[in-house]
A and B are shown apart, each in its own frame.
Chain A
Amino acid sequence: MNSEYSLMKDSFPVKNTKDQIWIVPKDPYILYVYFEISSETHSTFESIFGYYLWESSHLFLKISNLSTNTSQYLKIAPDSNNLYINIDQPNKVIRVEIGKMISNEFFIPFAGSNVVSMPNNNIIRDQSIHFENVLENKNIDKNVNTDLIYDKFKFNEVSQYLAPSSVNMFMNMEKINKD
Chain B
Amino acid sequence: MAKGFLSIVLHAHLPFVRHPEHEEYLEERWLFEAISETYIPLLEQFHRLNEEGIDFRITISLSPPLISMLTDTLLQDRYISYLSKMIDLCDREVERTKYQSDFNNLAILYKNKYQNDFNSFVNKYEKNLINAFSELQKSGKVEIITCAATHGFLPLLNLTPESVKAQILVAVQTFEKYLGCKPKGMWLPECGYIPEVENYLHECGVNYILIESHGVLFANPRPVYGTFAPIVSRKGIVSFGRDIESSKQVWSAEVGYPGDHDYRDFYRDIGHDLDFSYINPYILSDGKRINTGIKYYRITGKTQHKLPYNPAIASLKTEQHASDFLSNRLKHIDFLENNMDKPPLFVCPYDAELFGHWWYEGPEWLYNLFKKLDKIPDELQSITPSEYINQYPLIQVASPCSSSWGANGYNEVWLNKSNDWIYSHLHKAAKEMVEIANDNPNAEGLLKEALNQAARELLLAQSSDWAFIMKADTMVDYAKKRTNDHLSRFTKIYYDIKENNLDQEWLKGIQWKDNIFPDIDYRVYKRNP
Q: Which residues of A contact B (CB under 8 A)?
A: 1-2, 5-6, 8-14, 16, 22, 24-28, 30, 32, 34, 82, 114, 117, 119-137, 139-140, 142, 144-146, 148-150, 152-153, 155, 157-179
Contact (A162, B409) CB under 8 Å given A5-B492, A148-B339, A169-B354: yes
A12 touches B488 (CB 8 A): yes
Supply 16 A–B pairs (Cβ within 8 Å), ascending by A: A12-B425, A14-B424, A25-B411, A120-B220, A134-B236, A136-B393, A148-B224, A149-B226, A149-B336, A158-B408, A165-B464, A167-B465, A167-B469, A171-B472, A174-B472, A177-B259
A165 touches B190 (CB 8 A): yes
Bound complex: CA of A144 vs CA of B241, how far in Å?
20
A177 touches B253 (CB 8 A): yes
CB 8 Å contact bits of B475-500 with A (1 = contact, 0 = none): 10000110010011101100110010
Q: Which residue of A lies closest to B353 (CB)?
A: A166
Q: Which residue of B lies closest to A13 (CB)?
A: B491
- Tell me which residues across on chain B come within 8 A of A14, comparing CB atoms: 424-425, 428
Closest 4 CB pairs of A and B: A177-B259, A126-B221, A158-B409, A119-B402
Bound complex: CA of A157 vs CA of B218, how far in Å?
9
B396 touches A129 (CB 8 A): yes
CB 8 Å contact bits of B6-34 with A (1 = contact, 0 = none): 00000111110000000000000010011
Bound complex: CA of A119 vs CA of B415, how far in Å?
15
Interface hit among B123-131, B244-252, B319-327, B519-527: B244-252
- Tell me which residues across on chain B come within 8 A of A172, comparing CB atoms: 266-267, 291, 474
- Tell me which residues across on chain B come within 8 A of A142, comparing CB atoms: 394
Contact of B218 among A24, A121, A166, A169 (CB under 8 A): A121
- Tell me which residues across on chain A come within 8 A of B411, comparing CB atoms: 24-27
- Tell me which residues across on chain A come within 8 A of B232, comparing CB atoms: 132, 134
Contact (A170, B472) CB under 8 Å given A132-B395, A149-B226: no
Interface hit among B46-54, B78-86, B171-179, B209-217: B209-217
- Tell me which residues across on chain A come within 8 A of B259, comparing CB atoms: 177-179
- Tell me which residues across on chain B come within 8 A of A133, comparing CB atoms: 393-395
- Tell me which residues across on chain B come within 8 A of A178, comparing CB atoms: 258-259, 265-267, 299
Say how far B258's CB is from chain A's closest CB, in angstroms.
4
- Count, chain B residues at interface, CB 8 A: 108
- Tell me which residues across on chain A come within 8 A of B425, comparing CB atoms: 12, 14
Bound complex: CA of A125 vs CA of B354, how far in Å?
37
- Tell me which residues across on chain B come within 8 A of A146, comparing CB atoms: 222, 224
Looking at B33, B155, B217, B351, which has the most chain A CB atoms within 10 Å of its CB? B217
Bound complex: CA of A26 vs CA of B420, how far in Å?
10
B379 interface hit (Cβ, 8 Å)? no
Bound complex: CA of A6 vs CA of B509, how far in Å?
12
Say how far B314's CB is from chain A's closest CB, in angstroms.
14
Bound complex: CA of A167 vs CA of B467, how far in Å?
11
- Tell me which residues across on chain A come within 8 A of B218, comparing CB atoms: 120-124
CB 8 Å contact bits of B375-387 with A (1 = contact, 0 = none): 0000000000000
Bound complex: CA of A126 vs CA of B396, how far in Å?
13
Say how far A43's CB is from chain B's closest CB, in angstroms.
23
- Tell me which residues across on chain B come within 8 A of A124, comparing CB atoms: 218-222
